[in-house]
Structure 1
Amino acid sequence: MAVTIKDVARQANVAPSTVSRVIADSPRISEKTKKRVRRIMDELGYHPNMNARSLANQTTQALGVIMPSSANKSFQNPFFPEVIRGISSFSHIKDYSLYMSTGETEQEIFEGVVKMVQGKRVDGIVLLYSRVDDPVTKYLVEQEFPFVLIGKPHHISEDITYIDNDNYSAGREVTEYLISLGHRQIAFIGGSPDLMVTKERLAGYREALKLADLPLPDDYIFYMEFDREGGQQAVEQLMSMPEPPTAIVVTDDLMALGVLSTLAESGHMVPDEVSVASFNNVIFSELASPPLTSVDVRIFQLGYEAAKSLIERVEQPHFAPKSIIVPYKIVRRQTCKQIVKDQLCTS
């Protein structure tokens, strides 16, 4: 026979309504009582009826996760499984499930979000990207629907909860690191120019060059897809220039893999001829050949904090929007070297 809420209440010597409040994580119940009731639930093997709870509370106990493109494209990049792992980790603690939506085009992504909101399929939404003049963000603000951005909002940031790194400072710092190694011809390979992460890191790169009184050549800046092919295409063009760069800032590790493989295939030694620094520090960064210098943006923490902030907004709507800046650090490996005179270099 299935264990009921009354069985738990009897064993814990509390009212069934108290057990219900523990299941709902009500602030009216002390932590001591919550721990005791939950322990008894575990001992008895009681599992709350989440559907009944959702109907009673007019909630779904689900969060929407919006990818920036199709699942096929997104999951090729290790950033997205890792950030979803962070989202899932906190959501599991709070008994929320995840409802993912993707689309081949921006219109399909937008339509998927509208279906989530109008169909009351989720209690809140995590956007895994931030884009200039994004219709999804605008729609969610207009609908006053709980959502959190991973990335810096383009506008109205005071009305939006977001989780991000200081990408401007990270872009500047990694460029300054290459400048400190003697590099003066430094290229930049970013994602789409309408993505805020690209804009912020590019702004930091430009500022570092400006402060070092170095030229800002437009032909050294490329906007490509966040995949290996994007990195390959960009570096092919860069290395065919009359004055190719001696160092490259790449805004994504998967793109950087394409850069490294293309440089190797074309006979350019890394880091002896070209230094490469990237972002995200995904699992294969240290396994690359050579191991890749990369900015660790703490991807898991970005996802964890996003889920935590969103559930907070769902359960306590009066809370004001906030921003959380997750710290980063440059992990220096073997793709960057000191330059010697006009050539490249020794350790």
Structure 2
Amino acid sequence: MAITIKDVAKLSNVAPSTVSRVIANNPRISEKTKIKVRAAMDELGYHPNFIARSLANQSTRVIGLVLPNSTDVFFQNPFFPTVLRGLSDGANERHYALQINTGNTDEEIYDGVVQMVQGGRVDGVILLYSRIEDKVLNYLRERKFPFVVIGKPFKDVDQITYVDNDNYKATKEATRYLLSLGHKQIGFIGGDLNFVVTVERLLGFEKALREAGLQSNDDYIIHSQFLREGGQEAIGKLINLKEPPTALVVADDLIALGVLNTLLEMNISVPEDMSIISFNNVLFTELSHPPLTSVEINIFEIGYQASKSMIQLLENPNEPVKRIIVDHEIIKRLSCSESVKNISVL
């Protein structure tokens, strides 16, 4: 005979409704009661039927994830698997599942979101990016469908719940660090300008230079894909300038890895000939040669907070709009040193 909620309630000496609230991890239930009820569930071998509960509540308990690119690009950059772990942990805590929307083009991704939403496959959507113009975000707003953005929205910031770092401030600090080492010829390698994170970081970079009494050099600013190949292409252009920069702010560790590899092939030494600071502080930054100075943006926490915010919105439609800013920190390693000289191509 199947074990029911009533059996769990009887053994733990609480009401069946209390057992239901414990299963849903309701914050109004004391930790002492939760422990007692969960112990009774374990003793009886009771497992909640979340499918039946979802049908009764007309809820899928599934959150859709929308990627900025195809899945091939998604899994090349360590940022995304790390943010996915944070999203997964946050969802699992409340017994939600995640569904990734895939596509090789923007149109395929958009069509996939429409199918998820109109097909009733998900309760809400998390966008793992923020673009200057985005059909997906506009579609979700028009349908008043619950969603959260990882990244600062380009417009209507006070009307959209989002999780992000203060990318403007972080890049100012990264640039100031290079300035404090005596560098004045500082380049910037950013990602795609269609993404708000790239714009925010570029603005922070330029502001730091202006505050130091320096003018940004357009030749020193290059934008590329958030991939190693993007870094290889960008540094190739910078090194061939008549006066190459002596230091670089790079918007992503994977791009920076491409920069490091290319400089190594050209016998240009880091940090003796060129200093590099990048963003994300993923695992390989400690293992690169030399270890990369990088801005720790707490990727896992970004994902976790996005999941948490999404679920709060789903469980309370009156939940206020939130702006969650995750802390950052410069992790100093061996890829930056004091400015000594300008490099020359061998």
1:240 paired to 2:235: no
Q: CA deviation at 1:195?
A: 0.4
1:196 paired to 2:196: yes
- Equivalent in the alignment of 2:337: 337
Conserved 8 A contact 2:244-2:342? no
The 5 Å alignment of 1:317-328 reads: 317-328=317-328
- Equivalent in the alignment of 1:297: 297
Question: Take 2:337 and 2:26, find their aligned partners in 1: how far apart are those partners?
Answer: 56
Conserved 8 A contact 1:232-1:255? yes
Q: Which one-letter code corresponds to 2:259 in the other structure?
A: V
Deviation string 1:311-346 (CA, Å, 9 cap, x unpaired) is 000001101111010010000100001013x447xx
Q: CA deviation at 1:151?
A: 0.4
Q: Which one-letter code corresponds to 1:204 in the other structure?
A: G
Q: CA deviation at 1:42?
A: 2.0
Deviation string 1:158-215 (CA, Å, 9 cap, x unpaired) is 1100001000011111011111111111111111001010000000000011111212
Moved more, 312-321 or 35-44: 35-44
Residues 221 and 32 of structure 1: is their aligned pair in 2 closer, same or farther, counting only changes over 3 Å? same
Q: CA deviation at 1:32?
A: 3.7
Question: In the comparison of the two structures, how many residue pairs are matched?
Answer: 343
Q: Which one-letter code corresponds to 1:173 in the other structure?
A: E
- Equivalent in the alignment of 2:79: 79
Secondary structure of residue in 1 paired with 2:294: strand
Deviation string 1:125-162 (CA, Å, 9 cap, x unpaired) is 11110000111111111111111111000011111000
- Using the size of structure 2 for normalisation, the TM-score is 0.96
Q: Which one-letter code corresponds to 1:139 in the other structure?
A: Y
Question: Take 2:27 and 2:249, find their aligned partners in 1: how far apart are those partners?
Answer: 48
- Equivalent in the alignment of 2:113: 113
Residues 170 and 28 of structure 1: is their aligned pair in 2 closer, same or farther, counting only changes over 3 Å? closer
Conserved 8 A contact 1:124-1:146? yes
Deviation string 1:265-306 (CA, Å, 9 cap, x unpaired) is 011100010111100000111111000000000001000111
Moved more, 233-242 or 5-14: 5-14
Question: Take 1:205 and 1:124, find their aligned partners in 2: how far apart are those partners?
Answer: 35
Q: CA deviation at 1:6?
A: 2.9
Moved more, 303-312 or 12-21: 12-21
1:91 paired to 2:88: no
- Equivalent in the alignment of 1:208: 208
Q: CA deviation at 1:52?
A: 0.5
Q: CA deviation at 1:4?
A: 2.6
Secondary structure of residue in 2 paired with 1:7: helix
Conserved 8 A contact 1:247-1:276? yes
Conserved 8 A contact 2:296-2:331? yes
- Using the size of structure 1 for normalisation, the TM-score is 0.95
- Equivalent in the alignment of 2:39: 39
Structure 1 unaligned residues grouped into runs of 5+: none
Q: Which one-letter code corresponds to 2:240 in the other structure?
A: S
- Equivalent in the alignment of 1:185: 185
- Equivalent in the alignment of 2:153: 153
Question: Take 2:270 and 2:21, find their aligned partners in 1: how far apart are those partners?
Answer: 60
Question: Take 1:40 and 1:75, find their aligned partners in 2: how far apart are those partners?
Answer: 41
Conserved 8 A contact 1:159-1:321? yes
Question: Take 1:18 and 1:183, find their aligned partners in 2: how far apart are those partners?
Answer: 63
Question: Take 2:21 and 2:301, find their aligned partners in 1: how far apart are those partners?
Answer: 29
Question: Take 2:71 and 2:3, find their aligned partners in 1: how far apart are those partners?
Answer: 40
- Equivalent in the alignment of 1:314: 314
- Equivalent in the alignment of 1:273: 273
Q: CA deviation at 1:92?
A: 0.9
Question: Take 1:224 and 1:302, find their aligned partners in 2: how far apart are those partners?
Answer: 24
Q: CA deviation at 1:29?
A: 4.7
Conserved 8 A contact 1:68-1:102? no
Residues 35 and 265 of structure 1: is their aligned pair in 2 closer, same or farther, counting only changes over 3 Å? same
Question: Take 2:27 and 2:58, find their aligned partners in 1: how far apart are those partners?
Answer: 18
- RMSD between aligned residues: 1.4
Q: Which one-letter code corresponds to 2:203 in the other structure?
A: A
Conserved 8 A contact 2:168-2:204? yes
Q: CA deviation at 1:26?
A: 4.4
Q: CA deviation at 1:18?
A: 3.4
- Sequence identity percentage: 57
Residues 207 and 23 of structure 1: is their aligned pair in 2 closer, same or farther, counting only changes over 3 Å? same
Secondary structure of residue in 1 paired with 2:125: strand
Q: CA deviation at 1:33?
A: 2.9
Moved over 6 A (4+): none
